[in-house]
Amino acid sequence: MSNYYPPVGFFFNVKFEDLESQSGDSEFQSVSGLSVDIETEEIAEGGENRFKHKFPVKTKYPNLVLKRGLIVNTKLIKWCRNAIENFEFKPVNLTVSLMNEKVPEGNPEGEPKREPLMSWNVVHAIPVKWSVDDLNAEESKMVIESIELSYNYFKTIPNNAD
């Protein structure tokens, strides 16, 4: 454990399980919203004035926000547009994987197939917001689209190789 370094957060992958994969649909600039809070209920005990008892009630998950350079007309965007414009929601599961820095042996040619260090399986996601950054003629920057997904919960999947 003395040689352990925390992983870098810029090498990750997003895979939508129930959507056909298309170029660009798994590449994002950032992913946020992988967190969980435990809501508690306070109960006062008769005669006890120093504190209130706190009991766990339920978990609460924020929306998952995916950001990337604007890509027009992919399967993912069609799925989002169908939900937002036609109000037809088709929940999907997705997996966000933090990749390790090691290149596995046996793949000397082509792009390295890296292994996930840790993954989060996001269950029952639906699009609730789609937005594009401001367009400004005075700035020279890439147009970023944000896709916000509501979901039921996620499960953490550790790498079994460790």
Q: Does 24 have pLDDT greater than 70?
A: no
- Band the pLDDT of 122: cuts 50, 70, 90: very high
pLDDT higher at 122 or 1: 122
SS (H, E, C) 11-43: CEEEEECCCCCCCCCCCCCEEECCCCEEEEEEE
Q: Which residues pair with 132 in a beta bridge?
A: 145
- Three-state DSSP class for residue 81: helix
Q: What is the mean pLDDT of residues 133-141?
A: 89
Distance CA 46, CA 36 (A): 32
Show the tokens assigned to 118: 């840790």
- pLDDT, residue 53, reads 92
- pLDDT, residue 162, reads 47
63, 149 Cβ separation under 8 angstroms: yes
- Largest CA-CA distance found in the chain, in angstroms, rounded: 73
Q: Does 159 have pLDDT greater than 90?
A: no
pTM greater than the 0.75 cutoff: yes
Place of tokens 């109000």: 87
- Torsion angle of C-alpha atoms 141, 145, 148, 149, degrees rounded to 10: -130
